[in-house]
Structure 1
Amino acid sequence: MPIDPSVAIGAQTANTTFSWTESDVLLYHLGIGAGSRPGDNLSADALRYTLDGPGLQVLPSFGVVAPTFHATEPPPLDLPGCDINLAQVVHGAQEISLSGPIPTAGTARLRTTITDIWDKGKAAVIWQEGVATAEDSGEELWRVRSSIFVKGEGGFGGDRGSATPVVVPERAADFETSYDVTPQQALLYRLCGDRNPLHADPDFAKGAGFPAPILHGLCSYGIALRELTDGLLGGDATAVGGFTARFAGVVFPGETIRVSGWREDGRIIGSAVIAGGERDGSPVLADCVVSLA
């Protein structure tokens, strides 16, 4: 069978050492749109993302991509007990929780395991959890949890799983802004270690059921966190303790993402939708929560 939960669940999928530099942090921030607004090249606040040196900070979502930042091949799907291919897969959800601010450069070890597989009938959802620890001290730096949605691989009689949706407050947002995704955004972001051809190759995208290449879900994820951090936390990335979101829809380069945020119960609830055009209001991210450090 293409997916065998008895083999997959509990299997280790990564045990690797990785390093990152200030240049990687700068490229990641540029890939998620930092410094793109008029005047950002002169703004001390904006330059905290885009200028190396003592003032540089690291947006916590960087921790999600840091382990594979230097990958130059499409992401492998050699998951134990899972015979799947890239054309079947879209990112389902992503979470990161931090033990403290991410250093601007460092070396760490990542250990990742498959924790759950949900049977959604026409699809399967595979969950993985990883822990990044400092190479020298063994101190935990951050944890990540993510899911992939695998089309056509459900129906094996497994647990359907459960999730509690995040309810957006029924009042005006405390913050709202929009970000214009550039035509080359996905081509730039793929240099952050995600060379999935779904985001660059028109023929591959059509074969996967999309009319054109789509923006990386993790790029939308980073854009949303950056906008919420800037709008509701004074641009202070160290105030973010974690970020979770579910990928609710696609973004095509050239579209505009509207990001909204609400201060609620000691956290920030967010949402991201398409703004304008034929797909106005179409969801991008749902169940968004920024936890505070």
Structure 2
Amino acid sequence: MPIDPSIAIGADLGSRTFSWTESDVLLYHLAVGAGSRPGDNLSPTALRYTLDDAALQVLPSFGVVAPTFHETDPPPLDLPGCDIDLAQVVHGSQSISVSGPLPTSGTASVRTTLTDVWDKGKAAVIWQEGVATAGPDGAGEELWRVRSSIFVKGEGGWGGERGSATPVLTPEREPDHLSSYAVTPHQALLYRLCGDRNPLHADPAFAAAAGFPAPILHGLCSYGIVLRELTDGLLGGDASRVGGFTGRFAGVVLPGETIRVAGWRDGGQVIGSATIAGGERDGSPVLADCVLSLA
């Protein structure tokens, strides 16, 4: 069987040490659309993402990509008990929680564990969790925690646990925030410089073999775009007010399309949603079950 839950669940994927610089932070912010609107080059609020001065801040979603930011090979899928094909894999969901504002540069260590494998019949869902701590030996304070799932088409049906998920319902009222972001034709090519060289996002032939009409935008790029739009629209652009962000990847985005982002204040959190705006796919889901928790 390509996936053996008895081996996969609980497997320790080890730890890795990584470093990042202000330049990495700036590139990541540009890749998720910061500084792209007219006047952003003169706006003190917008420049907190794109200018390496004392006011530079870090969007918490950067923590998701920081450990692999300098990778130049396609992401490996060497997971214990999982013999799977990259072309059959899509990102299912992603969350991050931060212990405080992320430093603009530093060194940390992250330890990752496979926590669950769900059998969805015609697909499998593999969950992993990572904890990042400061310092080259990981002996420092906890910086952030990430949890993510991948959806592996064609690998279910062994009679395993199906798992469960509770959908996040958006309030039945007008959103407190509504904005749109026009994805540039080169957005995926820019974002892949943040450490995700999966050819699905750059190679037309590979994308066609996977069943897509063109290379698609990275799910984590959409994730970062939505978090930034909600942060800018409801938190005054102050990334330090974000305590965490969760989202489920509900659909694809093609470069050149526009993402519509809606957000609702809901006590100590923000509930969000993202859909395609305009064109033949108007209203198609992008990111669902979005929750931005406040620090």
TM range (shorter): over 0.9
Structure 2 partner of 1:259: 261
Q: 1:288 aligns with which of 267, 287, 290?
A: 290
Structure 2 partner of 1:213: 215
The yes-or-no answer on 1:55 pairing with 2:59 is: no
| 1:179 maps to amino acid | Y
Residue segments in structure 1 that go unaligned for 5+ positions in a row: none
Tell me, in whole angstroms, the C-alpha distance in 2 between the residues paired with 1:103 and 1:153: 39
| 2:42 maps to amino acid | L
Structure 2 partner of 1:232: 234
Structure 2 partner of 1:200: 202
| 1:2 maps to amino acid | P
RMSD: 0.7
Describe how 1:19-98 pairs up with structure 2 within 5 A. 19-98=19-98
Tell me, in whole angstroms, the C-alpha distance in 1 between the residues paired with 2:90 and 2:213: 15
Partner-residue secondary structure (3-state), 2:163: coil
Q: Tell me how far 1:131 sits from its aligned partner.
A: 0.1
Structure 1 partner of 2:151: 149
| 1:59 maps to amino acid | L
Tell me, in whole angstroms, the C-alpha distance in 2 between the residues paired with 1:284 and 1:274: 7
Structure 2 partner of 1:10: 10
Tell me, in whole angstroms, the C-alpha distance in 2 between the residues paired with 1:248 and 1:133: 31
Structure 1 partner of 2:108: 108
Tell me, in whole angstroms, the C-alpha distance in 2 between the residues paired with 1:276 and 1:124: 33
| 1:283 maps to amino acid | P
Residue segments in structure 2 that go unaligned for 5+ positions in a row: none
| 1:55 maps to amino acid | A
Tell me, in whole angstroms, the C-alpha distance in 2 between the residues paired with 1:131 and 1:266: 24
Q: TM-score, normalised by structure 2?
A: 0.99
Q: Tell me how far 1:156 sits from its aligned partner.
A: 1.0
Describe how 1:98-137 pairs up with structure 2 within 5 A. 98-135=98-135, 137=139
Partner-residue secondary structure (3-state), 2:181: strand
C-alpha offsets along residues 113-148 of structure 1, whole Å, 9 cap, x if unaligned? Answer: 000000000000000000000016521100000000
Q: Tell me how far 1:265 sits from its aligned partner.
A: 2.3
Q: Tell me how far 1:52 sits from its aligned partner.
A: 0.3
C-alpha offsets along residues 37-84 of structure 1, whole Å, 9 cap, x if unaligned? Answer: 001111111000000021100000000000000000000000000000
Tell me, in whole angstroms, the C-alpha distance in 1 between the residues paired with 2:183 and 2:12: 36
Partner-residue secondary structure (3-state), 1:29: helix
Q: Percent identity of the aligned residues?
A: 82
Q: Tell me how far 1:14 sits from its aligned partner.
A: 3.8
| 2:66 maps to amino acid | A
Q: TM-score, normalised by structure 1?
A: 0.99
Partner-residue secondary structure (3-state), 1:209: coil
Partner-residue secondary structure (3-state), 1:45: coil
State the aligned residue count.
293
Describe how 1:167-206 pairs up with structure 2 within 5 A. 167-206=169-208
C-alpha offsets along residues 216-271 of structure 1, whole Å, 9 cap, x if unaligned? Answer: 00000000000000000000000000000000000000000000000012210000
Tell me, in whole angstroms, the C-alpha distance in 2 between the residues paired with 1:283 and 1:13: 32
Tell me, in whole angstroms, the C-alpha distance in 1 between the residues paired with 2:15 and 2:209: 32
Structure 1 partner of 2:277: 275
